[in-house]
Structure 1
Amino acid sequence: MEIQVVRRQLKVIILLTVFFLMGNNLAQSQSGKLRTVVTTDGEIDDVDTFLRYLLYTNEFDTEGLIYSSSMWHWKGDEKGTKFTSEMEMTRNIYGEDLTNLRWPGTNWIQELLTEYKKVHPNLLLHDTNYPSSEELLAVVKVGNIDFEGEMEQRTEGSELIAQKLLDDDPREIFLQAWGGTNTIARALKSIEEDHSKTKNWKDIKEKVSRKAIIYTIMDQDATYKNYIGPNWPEIRVFYNANQFWCFAYPWKKVVPKSQQPYLEGSFMGPNIINNHGPLLKKYYAYGDGQKQEGDPNHFEGDISKIANTDRGSFSKYDFISEGDSPAFLHLVDVGLDNYSDPSRGGWSGRFVQSEENPFKYEDGKASADFNPESGEMDPRYPQTRWIKAMQLDFAARADWCVKPFDEANHPPKIRISEGNTLSVKAGEELTIHFSASDPDDHKVAFSAWCYAEAGDGAVQIESQEASAKIKIPANAEQGAKYHIIVEGTDTGFPALTRYQRVILEVTSGKD
């Protein structure tokens, strides 16, 4: 019996590895871009996430922008039907028998795309891959919005997702759940209803399971637990329940002090919000005087209302929240090579394989990184370690909205002479060499460090100007992998950082 269990576990691990490799190869074999669909409940932090998202749409193919619901926001059926949340937190905060909850409407995406259209010509000066507002408007759909977790109705949004999962494009569909997973669940339910009685159902289910990746920020309804997980257990899920908080409302309690200045109004105001065109003027920040229609809980724009609350320490233009940005940042290739293997860590955080479900990657204590500022293992540090680089990158793209190419900064490209995967022996000493090309002819400063938590521990590194000397531990086991991150930061403003990951695999361990 134990042998059979082990064999089954090995089979699952092998299949999962094949799925990751197939997906990554297929994605690269097409347009070179990854496909994604966004589902959003429209909270103010979704709006801010979307504004940042628009400045990165040159990096991937946006194939759906879908209004959905969550435990925090739903429209109601406009018939007075009362609803009580399945989620304990929502019941405790808002009570029972509600007919709607903080619904922001189904126009805010279109309104922001109107502003995006105004800056689009300038964005094209920096990258011709930016999609037009018309292309993005064409994929805006309304999904399942009437109630938290509602997945009974087929909607335009759910049908779009189902169609993408079934189409002949072999690239994966990266499904972002900025709110609940109910519209995604309805799409999968429709596929099951339409095909489960057909002779090729097994092939269809395998295709969809191989094609879909869900990146979800918490469980914002119960549809993953109640439907997706039990019925589609081999769909990969990247589950961010801890790390996103550093990019959300309580960031001052979570983000290391050294990173906080890049979220404060003194940085956000001049470098992102003001004098960067009409799109970014819509960005919600503390004390900005803005108020989202439909959400009575949005008070942050009025400084006088936060003065005597637990948010009294916030100042004008301070960051409020972009709790969903880690989802799309997983698609931005900055050289960390973490798309197909989220355990490697990157701008979207770092996740470890679930002990219960090998197709699910989770954050939490098991994926904690050592935080040098606190001197402790920190479950949020896999995200917070990148905040400075992410915020400077955001500021550079804000400049792209208004500046010509030669007055803005653009990221360098880093190269490793020896390649990104090297075989080493226990006790070996080696040197890797790196270089950079910068589109603005800025000088690039390098550093190299070992990402111990992403691999099997630490190695000694002596980082030099364009190389790094590395010593493999004498007691390294065969098969161990050590992750070296090479960072290159240019001297432009905002200073931009890109990376290369070098994985050292021990092929000859200690005697």
Structure 2
Amino acid sequence: MKKISLILPLLFLFTAGFAQQINKRTIVTTDGEIDDVDTFIRFLMYTNEFDTEGLIYSSSMWHWKGDGKGTTMVSEMEMSRNMYGERSELRWPGTTWMEELLAEYKKVHPNLILHDKNYPSAEALLELVKVGNIDFEGEMDQRTDGSEWIAEKLLDDDPREIFLQAWGGTNTIARALKSIEEDYSNSKDWKSIKEKVSKKAIIYTIMDQDATYKKYIGPNWPEIRVFYNANQFWCFAYPWKIVVPKSQQPYLEGGFMGPNIITNHGPLFEKYYSYGDGQKQEGDPNHFEGDISKIVNTERGSFSKYDFISEGDSPAFLHLVDVGLDNYEDPSRGGWSGRFVQSKENNFRFEDGEMASDLNPETGEMDKSYPQTRWIKPMQLDFAARADWCVKSFEEANHPPKIIVKEGNTIKVNAGETVTLNLSSADVDGDPVYFKVWTYAEAGDGTATIELKTDSATVQIPDSAKSGEEYHVIVEGTDAGFPALTRYQRVIFTIK
């Protein structure tokens, strides 16, 4: 395990008091690609789990509007520069698609609140939709409604963090930070304002989709925490057939997606993009996936109707969903959003890649995608249950269990010690819950030996364990409803 330096736990203490009691705050920035649309639909199904405080159109290396005057640009990013050359606009999907999806969400909202009263209304979410910096890739010269909204939230008196999701470029976030710098850098309070904003902001970015993090945010705001997903998200994106283990692929195929998520689940899911569904996004000439005649023998593989296309940005908001893995406070622990290790160059930056690999049991090799792919089955079943919430009564649908470990989540032990965990569950639907207990070796310092009985697990710490090491044991409980739903408790054994 790559140990986190002392400075990060101090920052995480700022979060911890709120994480267990108060909803986390988040703002989404999105470039509107078809995978953003699908991510947004899944996001709406989880808005009961956190406080959404902004939904902001932004640009990226893949999508930008242009200024309407014919001004051209060449991408600063090598991949899109080579693909598209000099342009006056690029695949721009417009600034109404979130409003259109919220109109469909409004239709299913009365049913969603039968399952959880915390689902926000469509009207409340509509008030949060803003237009950010969209004219060009990486454009951050102009103050926009979206950038000003982010700046206002970062400066407000609410002590909770703002989890900033970059589904596209980071330019609107960068503009917000630049505005704060312009407005306050000459103030006597600048040091405290900058410290406040740096502690308050967390950026979860899917790749670098423009150059604004490297050129502005990183150099000027080095103490803003950044979770940088450049590898793991691909398994939940366009090349999933190449990346995802065979055992997980059925949950992304049309045989599962069609009946359990897309069809007969209300008007919102009719807008979900899938292979061969006949849909076409206005403004994006590259969107071929809906054409059934064009989805065989593609460079990504061959696909069937209703197969999953991509939700490459969903890991960003899944970091906020508390399923019992306690990954929010420390992203090196791993969870439905992936697993990240602290950068050697910047204590405030967490990255995926080779150093954040997990052992893939199908190949027997370390796999830099497996920290994400290992969760695909429970994630997809959970999504299917929430799709049911759009159309079914509480009694007809399934809801997740609560997993309880009597001994708690942190236990101090000696090397070689044996500890018994007493397990129980609560399931609102009355379904039995079946346990699995395993060591997450890559999140800690090694593997413990585990013997599972019906409602208890014996954990044997190795004799070779050293003082200060951690052993992460995941207690996983899955109910017998349909779709079967899984929740967890992470127990961390620290060697005395």
Please confirm whether the aligned pair reaches a TM-score higher than 0.5, indicating the same fold. Answer: yes
2:8 pairs with 1:19: no
Distance 1:170 1:392, change over 3 A: same
Q: Does structure 2 retain, via aligned residues, the 8 Å contact 1:102–1:294?
A: yes
Partner of 2:30: 40
Q: Does structure 1 retain, via aligned residues, the 8 Å contact 2:169–2:208?
A: yes
Q: In the aligned structure 1, how far is the partner of 2:230 from the partner of 2:49?
A: 25
What is the CA-CA distance between 1:310 and the residue it aligns to? 2.6
What is the CA-CA distance between 1:313 and the residue it aligns to? 1.3
Equivalent residue of 1:58, what SS?
coil
2:60 pairs with 1:75: no
Q: Does structure 2 retain, via aligned residues, the 8 Å contact 1:447–1:464?
A: no
What is the CA-CA distance between 1:22 and the residue it aligns to? 1.2
Report matched runs for 1:255-274 at 5 Å: 255-274=244-263
Q: Match for 1:14: what amino acid? A: L
Report matched runs for 1:22-421 at 5 Å: 22-28=14-20, 32-96=22-86, 98-311=87-300, 313-421=302-410
Partner of 1:4: none
Q: Does structure 2 retain, via aligned residues, the 8 Å contact 1:26–1:170?
A: no
Q: Match for 2:120: what amino acid? A: P
Distance 1:397 1:353, change over 3 A: same
Distance 1:308 1:433, change over 3 A: closer
Equivalent residue of 1:422, what SS?
strand
Q: Match for 2:40: what amino acid? A: F
Q: Match for 2:385: what amino acid? A: A
Unaligned runs of 5+ in 2: none
Q: In the aligned structure 2, how far is the partner of 1:280 from the partner of 1:76?
A: 31
Q: In the aligned structure 1, how far is the partner of 2:460 from the partner of 2:349?
A: 34
Equivalent residue of 1:289, what SS?
coil
Partner of 2:420: 431
Identity among equivalent positions (%) equals 76
Equivalent residue of 2:5, what SS?
helix
What is the CA-CA distance between 1:179 and the residue it aligns to? 0.1
Q: In the aligned structure 2, how far is the partner of 1:471 from the partner of 1:479?
A: 17
What is the CA-CA distance between 1:379 and the residue it aligns to? 0.3
What is the CA-CA distance between 1:309 and the residue it aligns to? 3.1
Structure 1: which 4+ aligned runs deviate by more than 4 Å?
A: none
Equivalent residue of 1:125, what SS?
helix
Partner of 2:431: 442
What is the CA-CA distance between 1:429 and the residue it aligns to? 1.1
Q: In the aligned structure 2, how far is the partner of 1:428 from the partner of 1:56?
A: 40
Equivalent residue of 1:430, what SS?
strand
Q: In the aligned structure 2, how far is the partner of 1:23 from the partner of 1:496?
A: 28
Equivalent residue of 2:6, what SS?
helix
Equivalent residue of 1:92, what SS?
helix
What is the CA-CA distance between 1:27 and the residue it aligns to? 4.3
Equivalent residue of 1:405, what SS?
coil
Partner of 1:7: none
Q: In the aligned structure 2, how far is the partner of 1:129 from the partner of 1:306?
A: 39
Unaligned runs of 5+ in 1: 1-9
Q: In the aligned structure 2, how far is the partner of 1:269 from the partner of 1:374?
A: 29
Q: Does structure 1 retain, via aligned residues, the 8 Å contact 2:242–2:300?
A: no
Q: In the aligned structure 2, how far is the partner of 1:217 from the partner of 1:497?
A: 26
Partner of 1:478: 467
What is the CA-CA distance between 1:185 and the residue it aligns to? 0.2
Q: In the aligned structure 2, how far is the partner of 1:13 from the partner of 1:488?
A: 32
What is the CA-CA distance between 1:312 and the residue it aligns to? 5.4
Q: In the aligned structure 2, how far is the partner of 1:504 from the partner of 1:312?
A: 43
Render the CA deviation track for 1:301-334: whole Å, top value 9, x for unaligned: 0011233533551000000000000000000000
Q: Match for 1:51: what amino acid? A: I
Equivalent residue of 1:441, what SS?
coil
Equivalent residue of 1:18, what SS?
helix
Equivalent residue of 1:26, what SS?
helix
Q: Does structure 2 retain, via aligned residues, the 8 Å contact 1:39–1:67?
A: yes
Render the CA deviation track for 1:20-50: whole Å, top value 9, x for unaligned: 1112213445xx1000000000000000000
2:449 pairs with 1:457: no
Q: In the aligned structure 2, how far is the partner of 1:278 from the partner of 1:24?
A: 38
Aligned length, in residue pairs? 494
Q: Match for 1:23: what amino acid? A: T
Distance 1:311 1:354, change over 3 A: closer
Q: Does structure 2 retain, via aligned residues, the 8 Å contact 1:443–1:490?
A: yes
Higher mean displacement: 474-483 or 300-309: 300-309
Render the CA deviation track for 1:238-296: whole Å, top value 9, x for unaligned: 00000000000000000000000000000000000000000011000000000000000
Q: In the aligned structure 1, how far is the partner of 2:314 from the partner of 2:393?
A: 26
What is the CA-CA distance between 1:335 and the residue it aligns to? 0.2
Render the CA deviation track for 1:68-117: whole Å, top value 9, x for unaligned: 00000000000000111000100111112x00000000000000000000
What is the CA-CA distance between 1:475 and the residue it aligns to? 1.4
What is the CA-CA distance between 1:394 and the residue it aligns to? 0.1
Q: Match for 2:396: what amino acid? A: E
